[in-house]
Chains A and B, each alone.
Chain A
Amino acid sequence: DGGITQSPKYLFRKEGQNVTLSCEQNLNHDAMYWYRQDPGQGLRLIYYSQIVNDFQKGDIAEGYSVSREKKESFPLTVTSAQKNPTAFYLCASSIPGARHLNTEAFFGQGTRLTVV
């Protein structure tokens, strides 16, 4: 499984602590995304970035933060302000419409975060 890598696969956090999820891709994609997956709610967009040093809030950005200092990396920090952080988090990357019309998103294998 090359291309886009998330780590760790499982993560446990104590209440009140911040935690950072890693996402790295070697596909030379400009766009990267973070989604949260909960049962029955599909994939909800947290943040996305279409170019280095730029990112936009998605539908559920509250309690999360991101950075995009390198093209290959888009880490997500789950802060203590996120009231219900236990979920499955998926990172994805794609080539945005600026260069190609095909915007297929490639996903990492996900990180399951549990607050204990």
Chain B
Amino acid sequence: GENVEQHPSTLSVQEGDSAVIKCTYSDSASNYFPWYKQELGKRPQLIIDIRSNVGEKKDQRIAVTLNKTAKHFSLHITETQPEDSAVYFCAASISVRGGNTGKLIFGQGTTLQVKP
């Protein structure tokens, strides 16, 4: 089955610096890769996602890159702010129109601390 590895487990940066979190996946059939942010005591919420037919996607200060050959994808946060401090999870899933998978496997999480 699918396995997702996420690194680093903790990351501390100064406000304004960039942060990068990396994930690798094992199942080459995976084609949907979301990233979730979980603030302390709250539920995980989707911040960005990417499908296997694109290599990069940006949304303001957040970007995700995907390398299908190497089976890894990364989250990039630029100009970090203290409110970016949270736990970030990557995930991988197989999404097939007409199919019936949708099983979402998560990485172990990265605790990001942005120091003011």
Contacts and interface: CB of A to CB of B under 8 A. Distances in A.
Given A43-B44, A97-B94, A105-B46, A35 B106 contact: yes
Nearest to B32: A103
Contacts of A40: 9, 108-109
A25 interface: no
Contacts of A58: 103
Contacts of A98: 97-100
A109 B43 CA distance: 5
Interface in B73-116: 89, 91, 93-109
A90 B41 CA distance: 12
B100 A51 contact: yes
A110 interface: yes
Contacts of A48: 102-103
A101 B95 contact: yes
A42 B107 CA distance: 6
Interface of A: 31, 33, 35, 40-45, 48, 50-51, 56, 58-59, 90, 92, 94, 96-98, 101-105, 107-110
Interface residues of B, number: 31
B104 A45 contact: yes
B100 A97 contact: yes
B45 interface: yes
B97 A103 contact: no
Contacts of B91: 43
Nearest 5 Cβ contacts at the A-B interface: A96-B102, A42-B108, A97-B95, A43-B106, A107-B43
A60 B51 CA distance: 27
B6 interface: yes
B95 A103 contact: yes
Nearest to B109: A42
